[in-house]
Structure formats: C-alpha cells, structure tokens
C-alpha cells in the first residue's frame, strides 16, 4: 500500500509542472496566440526560482521570483508578436533558444550548489490519515496551486464574460476588433499569464522536483506541455488528464530503469517523447474534431486597422 501511495505521489510531482505550463499555454492559445517559447520561459523560471531561493534562503521567495521571471520573459514575446506583429512560430522559437542560453549563463555559479525545497503540506491529524492523508493533505504547495489553477481557468473560460470574450478573440480577431474589443490588450494579458504559469512550472522543477540547478533541467517539458494543449483539444480538464498520463509515463520509465529491466536506459528515457508523438498522431487523426476545436485565428498575426 505504501509503495502505491509513493508512486502516486511521485506521479503527481512529475505531472504538476506539465499541468501548470500547459494550462497557461491553453489560455494563450485560446486567445489566438501560439507561443512556442514555453520551454524557454520554463527554464528561465527554474533558474530564477533557484537563484532567488538560494540567495535568500526562502523557497517561497524563490517561487515568487520564478513566476515574475517567467512573466517578464513572456513580455518580450508579447511586444514582438503583438506590437510588432512578428511571426509567432519564429519568435517563440527564439524565445526558447534565448531562454536556454540565458539560463545557462546565469546558472553557471549555481551548478552543484544545494538548493532549498518547498516543504510539503503537513496538517496535524489530517496528513497522517492512512493512504488518503498524504495524497490529499500532504503534498507540495505547488500541487494545490496547479489543481486550483485548472479549476479557475475552467471557470474563467467557460463561465465568465471575460472568458467568453477571450475565446471569441481566439476564434476571430477581426470580428472581435470590429465589436470594439481590445484584441491586443487581451492578448498581452493572456501571454503574460502563460509566461507566469511557465515560470511557476519551472520554479516547481528547481524548488520541489529536484531542488538544485542543472543546465537544461526542463528537458523538453515545455514542448510536451505544448503537445498536451493540442492533445487536450484546448479543454482544461483534458489537460489535467493528459498531464497525469504523461507524469505516469515519466515516472514509469524511471522506475523501469531502477528495476533494471533488460532494455537500454536510453530507450526508456525516450519513451515520454515517443509517447508525445503517438498521442499527437492519435488526436490529430480525427481532422474534423481538430479543426472544430482549434482556435480559428491561432498563430495569425493581427494588426488593427483604424
């Protein structure tokens, strides 16, 4: 029983950064913007979070710094694509390349330093209930943030007027603009929200998942988060399900490596990436469904005319 609980806990820890980054990107894409810089924002959040936590000794300040760094970094993308109408694919890619370089440079002095870890929740009495106690009341704080964030985004997108407006911008920015909606302003806010989420996901990596700084520690998670949004057909609860499936794959291959299964470790390590491809193929096979769910103006630059 204890082993099962432990495995479930590690799956949740592996799924949390994927979930947060993907939920952020989902809001961005619902507004019609494709930000391929998730990996870059995530790694910047990771190095910023680790650095602030290491220098101040407080993991909470680290987490806050991760969010701020991610948001600021995404602002760069927003200015380029929204104000200067640059190609979103290329700009997102350059954000990732810049983030990987910048984080490596900033993090040089952090390599090998002991980090700080966010403590797990511990409610006297409740957290020690067998089995469910640790699952529900004993996880790291970011886990609870990720779940509430998913619920909040679901409520925001489908139950509020602003959410409806955001979705309408994603489906047709020209119509939304004609109705007098401030398309660019909405998109700025969406992109910055996505950046804050990616930063938070990165902070989780360097403050909870492995509390240290390792170069390129995001290891493609930002790209998997992007794939999750497509896989989820832009629905928050499906992102939640997808993130946990991927968390399970990630943990599964680690356990398989530890058990010494007679398969080369490199093949097991490539499973999450192969699984991403398989899942993308399965979901995109149904062209009508994909067409129906994709925000119609996704990735198209918009320049308001007067």
Partner 1 sequence: MRIELVKRPQRSALFSVLSPFIAFALTIMAGGIMFALLGVNPLDAFNIYFIQPISEVWQLHELAIKAAPLILIAVGLSVCYKANIWNIGAEGQFIFGAIFGSIIPVLFPQFEGPLVIPLMLLLGMVGGAFYASIAAFLKTRFSTNEILTSLMLVYVAQLFLDWLVRGPWRDPEGHGFPQTIQFGDSAVLPELMPDAGRANWGFVFALVAAVAIWLMMSRMLKGFEVRVLGSSPRAGRFAGFGFNRMVFFTFLLSGALAGLAGISEVSGAIGQLQPVISPGYGFTAIIVAFLGRLNPLGIVAAGLVLALTYLGGEAVQSALGISDKVARVFQGMLLFFVLGCDTLIHYRIRLIGMALTKANGTAQLEAAPKLEEAR
Residues that bind partner 1 (CB under 8 A): 36, 76, 79-80, 83-87, 89-91, 93-95, 97-102, 104-105, 108, 220, 223, 226-227, 230, 264, 266-267, 269-270, 273-274, 276-277, 280-281, 284-285, 287, 290, 303
The DSSP call for residue 287 is H
Report the residue number, 5 or 85, with the smaller CB distance to partner 1: 85
Percentages (nearest 5) of helix, strand, coil residues in the chain: 75, 0, 25
> Pick from 304, 290, 5: which is nearest to 139 by CA?
5
- At closest approach, how far in Å is the CB of 221 from partner 1? 11
Q: CA 286 to CA 304: how far, in whole Å?
A: 34
Q: CA 232 to CA 27: how far, in whole Å?
A: 13
- At closest approach, how far in Å is the CB of 105 from partner 1? 4
- At closest approach, how far in Å is the CB of 257 from partner 1? 12
**Cβ(13)–Cβ(138) below 8 Å:** no
- At closest approach, how far in Å is the CB of 238 from partner 1? 17
Report the residue number, 106 or 241, with the smaller CB distance to partner 1: 106
User: Token digits for 86?
Assistant: 């640059």
The DSSP call for residue 131 is T
**Cβ(239)–Cβ(23) below 8 Å:** yes
- At closest approach, how far in Å is the CB of 147 from partner 1? 26
Cβ neighbours of residue 4 under 8 Å, at least 6 residues apart?
A: none
Q: CA 22 to CA 13: how far, in whole Å?
A: 15
Report the residue number, 56 or 87, with the smaller CB distance to partner 1: 87
Distances (CA, A) of 38 to 48, 59, 81, 204: 15, 22, 15, 14
- At closest approach, how far in Å is the CB of 98 from partner 1? 3
Report the residue number, 54 or 223, with the smaller CB distance to partner 1: 223
Report the interhelical angle of 271-284 vs 221-231 (nearest 10°).
20
- At closest approach, how far in Å is the CB of 15 from partner 1? 18
Report the residue number, 139 or 276, with the smaller CB distance to partner 1: 276
Report the residue number, 86 or 165, with the smaller CB distance to partner 1: 86
Report the residue number, 47 or 63, with the smaller CB distance to partner 1: 47
Residue with tokens 């909470």: 60
């Amino acid at each position: 029983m204890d082993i099962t609980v432990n495995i479930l806990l590690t799956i949740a820890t592996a799924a949390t950064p994927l979930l947060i980054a993907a939920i952020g990107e989902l809001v961005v894409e619902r507004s019609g913007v494709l930000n391929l810089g998730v990996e870059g924002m995530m790694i910047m959040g990771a190095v910023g979070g680790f650095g602030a936590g290491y220098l101040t000794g407080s993991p909470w300040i680290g987490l806050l710094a991760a969010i701020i760094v991610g948001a600021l970094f995404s602002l760069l993308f927003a200015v380029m694509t929204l104000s200067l109408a640059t190609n979103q694919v290329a700009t997102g890619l350059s954000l990732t390349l810049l983030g990987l370089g910048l984080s490596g440079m900033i993090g040089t002095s952090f390599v090998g330093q002991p980090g700080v870890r966010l403590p797990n929740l511990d409610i006297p009495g409740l957290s020690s209930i067998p089995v469910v106690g640790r699952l529900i009341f004993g996880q790291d704080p970011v886990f609870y943030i990720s779940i509430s964030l998913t619920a909040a985004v679901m409520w925001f997108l489908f139950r509020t007027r602003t959410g409806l407006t955001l979705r309408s911008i994603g489906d047709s920015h020209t119509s939304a603009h004609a109705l007098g909606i401030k398309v660019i302003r909405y998109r700025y806010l969406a992109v910055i929200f996505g950046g804050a989420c990616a930063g938070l996901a990165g902070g989780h990596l360097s403050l909870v998942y492995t509390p240290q700084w390792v170069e390129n520690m995001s290891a493609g998670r930002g790209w998997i988060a992007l794939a999750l949004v497509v896989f989820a057909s832009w629905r928050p609860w499906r992102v939640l399900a997808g993130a946990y499936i991927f968390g399970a794959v990630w943990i599964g291959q680690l356990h398989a490596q530890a058990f010494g299964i007679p398969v080369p470790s490199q093949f097991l390590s490539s499973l999450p990436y192969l699984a991403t491809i398989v899942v993308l193929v399965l979901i995109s096979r149904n062209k009508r469904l994909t067409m129906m769910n994709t925000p119609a103006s996704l990735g198209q630059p918009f320049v308001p005319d007067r």
